[in-house]
Amino acid sequence: MKKALNIITAALFFTFVCMFAVSTFILSNEKPPKPTERSFPKLAEDYVRKSFPLMANWRSLYSTMITAAGQNMIGSVYVSDNGLIEIISKADDKKVAEKVTKINDFAARHERSNIFVLVVPTASGIYSQQLPMIINALDQQKLIDDLYFSLDGRIQTLDAYNPLFSARDDYVYFRTDDRWTEYGAYTVYSKVIRKLGFSPLGLSSYDLEYADRDFYGDLYKETYCSTVRSDFINIFRNKNGSFVTSFSAISEGEEFNSSSIYYTPALATEDKLDVFLGGNSFERYTIKTSNRDAPRLLMIKGRYANMFVPFLTPHYSEITLIDPEQLTDKSIEDLVDVDSYDQILMLYDVSQFC
Amino acid sequence: MNFSGIVFLYFFLPLFFGIYAISKPFMRAYVMLLGSCAVIAWESPLGLIPFSCSVLIAYLGGLGCKKLKNNKKAATALLTVCILPEIAVPILVFVIGASEIGIMTTVGAGIYTLHSISYCCDVFRGECEAVTDPLRLAAYVSFLPSLDGIPLVEPKKTLEAMKEPKLNSEMLADGILLMLFGTIEKVLISDRLAMLFTEMQETSGGELSMIMSWVGAFFFGSAMLCRLKGYAHIAQGFAMMLGFDIGPSFDYPYSKSSLKDYLASYNISAYRFVQKNVYRPIAGSESNHARTLTASTISIITVCISYKPSIPFLLWGTGAALLITIELLADHQLSKIPRPVRYILTHSLTLIGWGIISQKTAVASFGYVSRMFTGALNLDAAPLLYFLSSAGPFVMLLLFFEAKTFITMLKRVSARKVNPIMFIKPFLVFALLVICTAFLLSGGQTASRWEVPIG
């Protein structure tokens, strides 16, 4: 009896282990690393982590056990009652200096252009006072102030911190993603648009469309924390109809054309937030509107820009967005004639400096 | 390859064990050697160079000592020649730092160096026969289950068992259980406590209050104990699976009430190694008090810096040696102190020790220890409560496993005619495997933030 139970124990262990080990290779879409590659052990471990069967379930089990034990930090993500917050604890001074230099150099090259910079805080900055005092979250307001202070005097700065902080009790950040919501973007738009020379459209000018009521973002996919409610993806539709006449996005010579800036098929995919401008994988986006006499805007975009752009379309005849992250060996000047634009807006979020 | 990692548990272990189990018993030592080479070469194939050198030194040293057994002087000189290149590596690490000497500090370097020395010394003393088969010796020197740094195994017993290791179902099942239990200790308790200690230091900006310094030292010490215990259990379990009984490496250090007993119960194999190869040769057979104290001082310092050759560990070792010397000299007076008081005193002193080695430099160590006595007296209620409540479940688990009564109870239950543990073993293995997998796949990023120095 004892021997039989011992054999069952060992057999159970090896069956389970072998089953998962074999499935890792069979079910994986990833290409296994070659032993000749540099840092092979790390690559192999990463491959296993990415390809291991039922990964979401393992992560969910881990999160459940950790939160049940009273822990509320999973990696760098804080689990609060209201959602998941990625904690940014410090800025990368080198990155900040590099980015400031790049912005100042760009401004020096285009002296006659109207350049605006908008740095958006992340949820960690807005909700830092609600986090346990032991969690060392970066003072993002100070970082943004310091950053603005280091910019060339010709560059006009826009404040996103205060509007978002004032609206912090509203749905301005996703509960399961590290980006802001459409409403968060609207909150900032309604305050900064005056500095760009326009009057904001009131909330009453929009119809709210619930594009998706069951959205789980990147932070959820990092933690699989089951205690957090799903998010909504809202689309603000202008009551007077869309101003957009054409939308095109280019990446590595391939062009994507549409008459809408909302790419609704993305709602059926893993990355539902790609519904805004088709995602972040393009190097250049061009939006043309029916406001023929309105100014033209060039936007140097970060990940937060996609939700912000829909609110700008009633004010411009053309909006061109360039994503510097997607430019490998090209410069912004290679893609567009910068000086031909009436305004240039650089939109970053704090995580790009950390 | 980390033995508490997903690659080891799901890929290396079944593949290696499959080959090992189907090999003929006399071939198993060679399969083990192949496994060790794979583990060493996994991080860097160049790591096989110092390993081969170590084996060669041990092999030639062993044969030489055997030949010169009638010429003590020549044998001593040969032993010295064999030991010097082996201890050169840790000395170099101490002097110029691990990163500067590259391949010399690869996986298992600590363990095969000490195994080589142990073997040469035992052959020199005539306690072990010189091995003529260099591959079997290489299998002992790199003893696969110990490659994560702990424990050291006896040459005579292990070499004997390596001739024809036999597998049996009970050792296999118990080994699996123990290995998974060790992994849990490492990934669940040690990693979380270590992370809390790191958070504690980061949030305070290096200015911990007095109470927080003591709590931090406890977190660090517990994390280190759990990590070493975890590795030791993984090694012991893995060895049992392969048919070797290497015994436990810890004897409930938290239950000891004297520093000497604490040290002897903490990483028993390292203590034994130092006792046999450092203490006895220096102390000699005569009862010379000064020589005995010198021997114990050098032995304790050796044990301490064997974890990591660095200044904080040297300070820790020196402090421990001093305190244990005082304890030995004042044994009569100390025995009059009530046991609970002595217990508190002993563990307060060990916490100071943890405070010293929790830092990377001597200055930081002094800073930490000084904060333990002169830090701000504020109670830090909010952070203290946060850390205590966060660590609570893990500390409870640790203390539960550290309590002798738990193991005694288990042993009593196991000794009964109808042993319930026997029936729950398959479910226990399954549950532990599921928990281990969840933590190994998801908790990696937290573990990598912090490394406890060992071996």
ipTM reported for the complex, 2 dp: 0.85
Is the domain of A301 the same as that of A153?
A: yes
Asked if residue B453 is part of any domain, the answer here is no
Provide the number of structural domains found in chain B: 2
Q: Which domain holds residue A20?
A: 1-53
| Distant-in-sequence, close-in-space partners of A68: CB < 8 Å, separation ≥ 6 | none
Q: Does any domain span residue A197?
A: yes
Give residues with Cβ within 8 angstroms of A206, minimum separation 6. Answer: A186, A236, A237, A238, A239
Residue B359 has pLDDT above 80, yes or no: yes
The pairing of strands A296-300 and A254-258 is unpaired
Same domain, A216 and A340: yes
**Count of structural domains, chain A:** 2
What confidence score (pLDDT) does residue B208 get? 79
Which chain B positions have a beta carbon within 8 Å of A6's beta carbon? 169-170, 172-174, 425
- For B216-247, letters b (16+ CB in 10 Å) and e give bbbbbbbbbbbbbbbbbbbbbbbbbbbbbebe
A233 DSSP β-pair partners: A212
The two tokens of residue B311 are 């200044």
- Kindly state whether residue B454 falls inside one of the protein's structural domains: no
Q: B236, B243 in Cβ contact below 8 A?
A: no
- Report chain A residues whose CB lies below 8 A from the CB of B203: 134-136
Any chain B CB within 8 A of the CB of A44? Answer: yes
The edge-to-edge listing of strands for the beta sheet with A77-79 is A73-74, A77-79, A84-86
Do B326 and B419 lie in one domain? The reply is: yes
One-letter amino acid of A59: R
Q: Is residue A79 part of a domain?
A: no
Q: Final residue of a domain: which of B116, B133, B166?
A: B166
pLDDT of res. B378: 66
Residues A1 and A93 in one domain: no
Whether B452 is covered by a domain: the verdict is no
Q: How far apart are CA A326 and CA A284, in angstroms?
A: 9
Closest CA to A84 of A217, A282, A192, A277: A217
CA distance B372 to B112: 38
**pLDDT computed for residue B424 by the predictor:** 86
Phi-psi region of A250 (alpha: psi -120 to 50; beta: other; left: phi over 0): beta
Please name the helix (run of DSSP H) or strand (run of DSSP E) that holds residue A77, with its range, or none. strand A77-79
Contact: A6, B443; criterion CB under 8 Å: no
Other CB atoms closer than 10 Å to residue A212's CB: what's the count? 18
Instruction: Please give the Cα distance from B344 to B258 (Å, whole number).
Output: 10
Which of B9, B14, B43 is closest, CB to CB, to A41? B43
- Quote the radius of gyration of chain B (alpha carbons, Å): 22
* B358 and B283 in a common domain: yes
Give the gyration radius of chain A's Cα atoms.
Answer: 23
For residue B1, being part of any structural domain is answered with no
Does residue B413 belong to any structural domain of this protein?
yes
Choosing from A13, A31, A53, the residue where a domain stops is: A53
The C-alpha of A124 sits at a distance from chain B's nearest C-alpha, in angstroms, of: 16
Q: What is the DSSP string of B394-418?
A: HHHHHHHHH-HHHHHHHHHHHHSSS
Same domain, residue pair B135 and B186: no
**Closest partner residue to A70 among B43, B203, B392, by Cβ?**
B392
- pLDDT of B110: 77
Q: Which of residues 400-439 of B touch A (CB under 8 A)?
A: 419, 422-423, 425-426, 429-430, 433-435, 437-439
Q: Beta partners for A318?
A: A288, A296
Task: For chain A, say whether B13 makes contact (Cβ under 8 Å).
Answer: yes
Q: Could you give the CA distance from residue B446 to residue B429 in angstroms, rounded to a whole number?
A: 25
A108 touches chain B (CB under 8 A): no
> How many Cβ atoms sit within 10 Å of the Cβ of residue B86?
21
Give the span between the Cα atoms of B30 and B137, in whole angstroms.
10
Distance CA A1, CA B286 (A): 55
Q: pLDDT-derived band of residue B447, with 50, 70 and 90 as boundaries?
A: very low
Distance of CA A115 to the CA centre of its chain: 23
Are residues A48 and A147 both part of a single domain? no
Nearest by Cα to A351 from A49, A46, A72, A76? A76
| A38 and A144 fall within a common domain | no
Q: Which residue of B has its CA nearest to A58?
A: B438
Same domain for B122 and B54? yes
Residues on chain A touching B383 (C-beta within 8 angstroms)? 133-134
In whole angstroms, give the CA distance from residue B299 to residue B308: 15
Say yes or no: A331 contacts chain B, CB-CB below 8 A. no
pLDDT attached to residue B449: 40
Show residues of chain A in contact with B199, CB under 8 Å.
73, 134, 136
- pLDDT, residue B454, reads 41
Least Cα distance to A80 among A232, A219, A213, A187 occurs for: A219
pTM assigned to the model:
0.84
Could you tell me if residue A70 is inside a domain? no
Mean pLDDT in residue range B20-48 = 90
* A3 interfaces chain B, CB cutoff of 8 Å: yes
Query: Based on the domain organization, do B259 and B110 belong to the same domain?
Result: no
Q: What is the DSSP string of A38-61?
A: TTHHHHHHHHHHHH-TTHHHHHHH
> Quick check: B21 contacting A, CB < 8 Å?
no
Residues of A in contact with B446 (CB under 8 A): 75
- Could you tell me if residue B38 is inside a domain? yes
What's the DSSP call for residue A344?
E
Higher pLDDT: B91 or B67? It is: B67
Neighbour-count burial for B348-366, b at 16+ CB within 10 Å, e otherwise: ebbbbbbbbbbbeeeeebe
**Residues 185..244 of B with a Cβ closer than 8 Å to A: which?**
192, 199, 202-203
pLDDT range class, residue B90, cuts 50, 70, 90: low
Chain B residue closest in CA terms to A137: B203
Do A6 and B446 lie within an 8 Å CB cutoff? no
Same-domain pairing of A147 and A267: yes
Average the pLDDT over B153-160 and give the result: 92
Residue A37 lies in a domain: yes
Question: Domain range for residue B341?
Answer: 171-447
Give yes or no for a contact between A185 and A238, defined as CB atoms under 8 angstroms apart.
no
Contact B14 A21 (CB under 8 A): yes
A172 class by beta-carbon count within 10 Å (0-12 exposed, 13-18 middle, 19+ buried): buried
Residue B150 shares a structural domain with residue B227:
no
Query: Among candidates B30, B41, B82, which has minimal Cα distance to B58?
Result: B82
Q: Which residues of chain A have pLDDT under 70?
A: 36-38
Which two structure tokens, joined as six digits, stand for B381? Answer: 């209620």
Burial string for B70-81 (b: 16+ CB within 10 Å, else e) reads eeeeebeebbee
User: Domain check: are A122 and A269 in the same one?
Assistant: yes
A208 vs B302: which has the higher pLDDT: A208
Domain check: are A120 and A206 in the same one? yes
Query: Tell me, what's the pLDDT at B139?
Result: 94
Q: What is the DSSP letter of B275?
A: I
- Whether residues B426 and A62 touch (CB distance < 8 A) is answered with no
Answer yes or no: is A16 within a domain.
Answer: yes
DSSP secondary structure code for residue B376 in this structure: -
Sorting pLDDT into bands at 50, 70 and 90, what band is B455? Answer: very low
- List, in order, residues 6 or more apart from B97 with CB less than 8 Å away: none
Rounded to an integer, what is the distance from CA A207 to the centroid of its chain?
24
Residue A167 lies in a domain: yes
Q: Are residues B59 and B84 in the same domain?
A: yes
* End-of-domain residue from the set B166, B187, B215: B166
* Alpha-carbon span B332 to B344, nearest angstrom: 18
Rounded-to-5 percentages of helix, strand, coil across chain B: 80, 0, 20
Mean pLDDT of B332-361: 89
- B-chain CB neighbours of A67 within 8 Å are none
Q: Which residues contact A328 (CB under 8 A, 6 or more apart)?
A: none
Report angle CA B440, B106, B99 to the nearest 5 degrees. 100
- Total CB pairs under 8 A between chain A and B: 118
Which residues touch B439 (CB under 8 Å, ≥6 apart)?
A62, B184, B187, B188, B191
A54 touches chain B (CB under 8 A): no
**Where does a domain end: A14, A30, A53?**
A53
Q: In which band, very low, low, confident or very high, does the pLDDT at B446 lie, cut at 50, 70 and 90? A: very low
- Least Cα separation, residue B310 to chain A (angstroms): 27
Together in a domain, B300 and B253: yes
B78 and B185 fall within a common domain:
no
Q: Compute the nearest-CA separation of A81 from chain B (Å).
A: 17
Cα-based torsion angle of the residue sequence A257, A261, A264, A268 in order, rounded to the nearest 10 degrees: 90
A139 found inside a domain:
yes
Do B123 and B245 belong to one domain?
no
Tell whether A230 is covered by a domain. Answer: yes
**DSSP state for residue A116 in the 8-state scheme:** E
B104 shares its domain with B153: yes
Measured between beta carbons, which residues in chain A are less than 8 angstroms from residue B177? 9
Mean pLDDT, range B92-112, rounded to an integer: 63
- Kindly tell me if the per-residue pLDDT of B91 is higher than 80: no
DSSP state, residue A270: S
Q: How far is B31 from chain A (nearest CA, A)?
A: 19
B39 → chain A, closest CA residue: A41
Residues B38 and B176 in one domain: no
Instruction: With CB atoms and an 8 Å threshold, state whether A70 touches B13.
Output: no
Distance CA B284, CA B279 (A): 8
- Cis peptide bond N-terminal to B151, omega within 30: yes
Residue after which a domain boundary falls, among B124, B139, B166:
B166
Rounded Cα gap, residues A145 and A164, in angstroms:
15
- What are the angstrom distances between the C-alpha of B275 and each of B117, B269, B271, B324, B379? 13, 10, 6, 15, 43
- Cβ-nearest to B170 among A6, A13, A61: A6
Residue A37 has a pLDDT of 67
Contacts of A20 in chain B (CB under 8 A): 10, 437
Query: Quick one: A181 and A272 in the same domain?
Result: yes
pLDDT at residue B450, rounded to an integer:
42
Judge if A273 and A149 occupy the same domain. Answer: yes
Put simply, the chain B residues between 28 and 67 with a CB less than 8 A from any chain A CB are 42-43
More confident residue, B443 or B161: B161
Q: Do residues A282 and A257 make contact, with C-beta atoms less than 8 angstroms apart?
A: no
Give the residue on B whose Cα is nearest the Cα of A52.
Answer: B441
If you ran DSSP here, which 8-state letter would residue B132 be given?
Answer: S
Domain co-membership, A226 together with A341: yes
Tell me, yes or no, if B453 comes closer than 8 A to chain A by beta carbon. Answer: no
User: Same domain for A8 and A96?
Assistant: no
- Of the residues A3, A8, A9, A25, the best mutation for testing chain B's interface (the one with the most B CB atoms within 10 Å of its CB) is A9
